[in-house]
Amino acid sequence: MIIDSIQNGIVIDHISAGKAMELYRILGLDKLDCTVAILKNVTSGKLGRKDIIKIDREMELDWDLIGYVDPSITVNSIRDGQLVEKRTLKLPERIRGVLRCKNPRCITSVEQELPQEFVLTDQEKRVYRCIYCETQAEK
């Protein structure tokens, strides 16, 4: 299979196999009017198998969201066919607007306008807790 390189855009690489569609959905890539290529289960010397997303346009991305989905991801910015920036990610300390608190007694259940915000409490186990009621987020 031949996958063309992009001249100007972004390559999201080293996505754990099977996570590309989740990232595609969370980042809202379906709303773009440019070419977006998703490569699933690509052979990788580092990971065994990985997913890749290629976006044929330069754009701002939410680094925390990407790091939350998979902290092993690297994001490559391409301009004029050349790599201009390679960014490695990590788990964000806080995540906002992605997770919803499952606790029916949490204030966010009553006060709908409050932002859903979670803080990282255990980096090794990737545990996030609601800042209001400390309920553990479900992945």
pLDDT digits (tens, 9 = 90+) for 81-129: 899 999 998 899 999 888 899 999 999 988 888 999 999 999 999 999 9
Q: What is the side-by-side strand order in the sheet with 127-130?
A: 94-96, 117-122, 127-130
Please state, in angstroms and rounded to a whole number, the distance separating the CA atoms of residues 16 and 22: 11
What are the sequence ranges of the domains in the chain? 9-88, 94-130
Does residue 3 register a pLDDT over 70?
no
Quote the distance between the C-alpha of residue 117 and its chain's center: 16
pLDDT at 50: 93
Query: Looking at domain 9-88, which CATH architecture does it have?
Result: 2-Layer Sandwich (3.30)
pLDDT at 1: 60
Q: What is the pTM of this model?
A: 0.79
pLDDT digits (tens, 9 = 90+) for 41-86: 988 887 789 999 999 988 888 888 888 888 889 999 999 989 999 9
